Amino acid sequence: MRYISLFTLLVLITFTATAQISREEYIKRWQLIAIEEMNRSGIPASITMAQGCLESGNGNSELSRKSNNHFGIKCKKGWTGKKVYYDDDAKNECFRKYRTVEDSYVDHTNFLMGNPRYASLFELDPTDYKAWAKGLKKAGYATAHDYDKRLIKIIEENKLHRLDKKMNYQELAVFEQQSVSPGISNSLMLNPYNTHKVVKFNDIKSVVARKGDTYEMLAQEFGLSDWELYKFNDQRAGYRPVPNEVIYIQSKKGKASKTNLTHRVQQGESMHFISQMYGVKLKPLYKRNGMKAGQQPNAGQIIYLRNKRG
């Protein structure tokens, strides 16, 4: 009995470790970043999503799992990021490695936009997924002779062309199964961008980050430039927010509200944390407290939020 139990456990562990993501799960997980990248570049979200499905095996390929490379993009000349090596058209070829899947999607857009080989694609109608699929094949994105047909099949079987109208995957089912009630605009159903609730801290508009959010995605959602969000939040370019983190979509103020004069530092709190908590710019916060940029406070220390330290 003990032998059977151990064997069963090993089978379960093996099954869990190799569990495959379904195509539907993959689409649901990454659809919004495909739509965001379409908004940034004009590349049909249906094409990006279909390529992601095909090139990564719905996120199950070794390259996508271990390197977050969902589009099979090779290193090419000028790539300065991390690299991995796999046998593909030739032995031991160099592929790009990304920190996150989102980075792979963003680089896919940049790769197509920055390569003269694909320039003619951007003259096509952004809703003509068939022309884009054929254009990618003609430009030599992949060596498969039926690459365009594979992409079109994925798009049509999963109705991904609806993504090009900024309607996400879950909304497709809702849209097909129930009608919109009289007097209620269907814009909420058709617009997957404005999904973050705006709240205010120190009378400054902000949102709370969710899993998978990036500054680039949020900037597009609220009609801002990437650099603006990084500046508003005193963050370096490329920073990725964590779930439940407050992100300001307006510039923070030079000092806190009148009801918040000081803050007693708790264990582990940084000056940036305090800056975000009260909606105060980091530079004047350091200056007001006689501290150098990058210096961190000690637990129990009093941080002055409005007036200079006495």
* CA pseudo-torsion sign 178, 184, 190, 192: negative
Strand partners, 263: 303
Average pLDDT over residues 159-169: 73
* The pLDDT of residue 132: 97
Contacts of 146 (CB under 8 A, 6+ apart): none
Work out the pLDDT band at 309, boundaries 50, 70, 90.
Answer: low
Rg from Cα positions in the chain: 24
* Domains 199-248 and 262-304 belong to one CATH topology: yes
* The pLDDT of residue 221: 81
Average pLDDT over residues 93-97: 93
* The pLDDT of residue 169: 43
Work out the pLDDT band at 164, boundaries 50, 70, 90.
Answer: confident
How far, in Å, CA of 99 to CA of 86, rounded? 18
Least confident among 139-148, 234-243, 298-307: 234-243
Q: Which residue has the higher pLDDT, 16 or 33?
A: 33
Nearest to 246 by CA among 305, 196, 188, 193: 196
User: Is the pLDDT score of 50 beyond 50?
Assistant: yes
Return the domain boundaries, the chain: 19-170, 199-248, 262-304
Rounded to the nearest 10 degrees, the angle between the axes of helix 169-177 and helix 23-41 is 100
- Whole-model pTM: value is 0.54
Question: Alpha helix locations (H) across the chain?
Answer: 2-17, 23-41, 45-56, 62-67, 101-114, 129-139, 147-157, 169-177, 187-190, 215-221, 226-232, 271-278, 282-288
How far, in Å, CA of 303 to CA of 297, rounded? 8
- Model confidence pLDDT, tens digit, residues 193-252: 346 778 887 889 988 888 788 888 888 788 888 899 999 999 998 888 888 788 999 999
CATH number of the structural domain 262-304: 3.10.350.10
For 126-145, the DSSP string reads TT-HHHHHHHHHHHTS---T
DSSP label at residue 265 = P
* The pLDDT of residue 41: 86
Q: Which residue has the higher pLDDT, 201 or 142?
A: 142
* The pLDDT of residue 211: 79
Assigned fold of 19-170: Lysozyme (1.10.530)
- Model confidence pLDDT, tens digit, residues 180-204: 333 323 322 223 334 677 888 788 9
* The pLDDT of residue 90: 76
| Range 199-248 has CATH code 3.10.350.10 | yes
